[in-house]
Amino acid sequence: MTPILWIAILITCAASIGVAYLVAADFWRDRSPSSRDRVANIHREAHDAAGRLTALYHQALKDMRRH
């Protein structure tokens, strides 16, 4: 009877660990942005950076022409 009890306890522990992993993985997947969202963010940030660099370039050209 004791070996059956130990086997049942081990199976219960393994099942609990598996369920905890699935719950944690589902929670993490819901919190992390999708790859499409990451690509959109990178694209938007690159576009904004290019706009700032263009503005700085034009300002530098104006400053050079004044002097």
The residue to which tokens 């700032």 are assigned: 52
Q: Domain count of the chain? A: 2
Cα–Cα distance, 35 to 21 (Å, whole number)? 22
14 shares its domain with 25: yes
Write down the pLDDT at residue 55. Answer: 92
- Polymer length of the chain: 67
44 shares its domain with 20: no
Write down the pLDDT at residue 34. Answer: 74
Question: What confidence tens digit (pLDDT) does each residue in 3-50 have?
Answer: 888 888 888 989 999 888 888 888 777 666 677 788 888 899 999 999
Write down the pLDDT at residue 45. Answer: 93
Report the first-to-last Cα separation within the chain, whole angstroms: 96
44 shares its domain with 59: yes
23 shares its domain with 42: no
Domain membership of residue 4 as a residue range: 1-32
